[in-house]
Copies of this chain bind each other. A is one copy, B any other.
Amino acid sequence: MSQPSRLQQDLAERILDLARDDGLTAGAHLNESVIARRLDVSRTPVRAAFAWLEDRGLVRRNPHRGLELISMPRASENGASPPDAVELALVRLAHEREAGELDNEFSEQEIMRRYELGRPEMKRLLARLADLDMVERKPGYGWRFLQEPRDPRVHDERYRFRMLIEPMTFLEPGFALDPGWIAEMRERHHATLSQPWRETSAISFFEMNAAFHEGLAAASGNRFIHSAVRRQNQLRRLSNYDWVFGFERVEVNCREHLQILDSAEAGDLEVASVQMRRHLQRASRLRRPDGLD
Residues of A within 8 A of B (CB): 7, 10-11, 39-42, 45, 127, 131, 133, 138-140, 146-147, 153-154, 157-158, 160-161, 164-165, 168, 172, 174, 221-225, 227-228, 232
A7–B137 Cα gap in the complex (Å)? 12
A224 to chain B: which residues have CB within 8 Å? 157-158, 160-161, 232
Query: Which residue of chain B has its CB nearest to the CB of A123?
Result: B123
Q: Which of B7, B225, B232 contacts A161 (CB 8 A)?
A: B225
Say whether B225 contacts A139, CB under 8 Å: no
Shortest Cβ-Cβ A-B pairs, 5 listed? A161-B224, A41-B140, A157-B222, A41-B139, A133-B227
CA distance A42 to B165 in the complex (A): 42
Chain B residues, CB < 8 A from A164: 164-165, 168, 225
Q: Is the pair A157, B223 in contact by a Cβ cutoff of 8 Å?
A: yes
Q: Which of B7, B42, B153, B228 contacts A228 (CB 8 A)?
A: B228
Taking a contact as CB atoms under 8 Å apart, the answer to whether B222 and A161 are in contact is yes
Give the complex CA separation of A226 and B133 in angstroms: 11
Chain B residues lying within 8 Å of A228, measured Cβ to Cβ, are 161, 228
> Do B223 and A147 touch across chains, with their CB atoms under 8 A apart?
yes
When distances are taken between beta carbons in the complex, the residues of chain B under 8 Å from A232 are 224
Given A133-B223, A147-B223, A224-B161: A138 and B168 within 8 A (CB)? no
Judge whether A139 and B39 touch: CB under 8 Å. yes
Given contacts A164-B165, A165-B164, A172-B160, contact A140 B45 (CB under 8 A): yes
A140 contacts across to B, CB distance below 8 A: 7, 40-42, 45
* A10 to B10 alpha-carbon distance, docked (Å): 44
Q: What are 16 A-B interface contacts by the 8 Å CB criterion?
A: A7-B139, A10-B139, A11-B139, A40-B139, A41-B138, A41-B139, A127-B127, A133-B223, A154-B223, A157-B221, A157-B222, A160-B224, A161-B225, A165-B165, A224-B232, A228-B228
Question: Of B39, B131, B172, B221, which is within 8 A of A131 by CB?
Answer: B131
Q: How far is the CA of A224 from the CA of B151 in the complex (A)?
A: 14
User: Which residues of B have CB within 8 Å of A131?
Assistant: 131
> Which residues from B are CB-within-8-Å of A7?
139-140
Name the B residues within 8 Å of A172 (CB-CB): 160
Q: Which of A11, A40, A146 has the most CB of B within 10 A?
A: A40
Would you give the shortest CB distance from A270 to chain B, in whole angstroms? Answer: 16
- A230 closest partner in B (C-beta): B133
CA distance A140 to B49 in the complex (A): 13
- B residues less than 8 Å from A223 (CB atoms): 133, 146-147, 154, 157
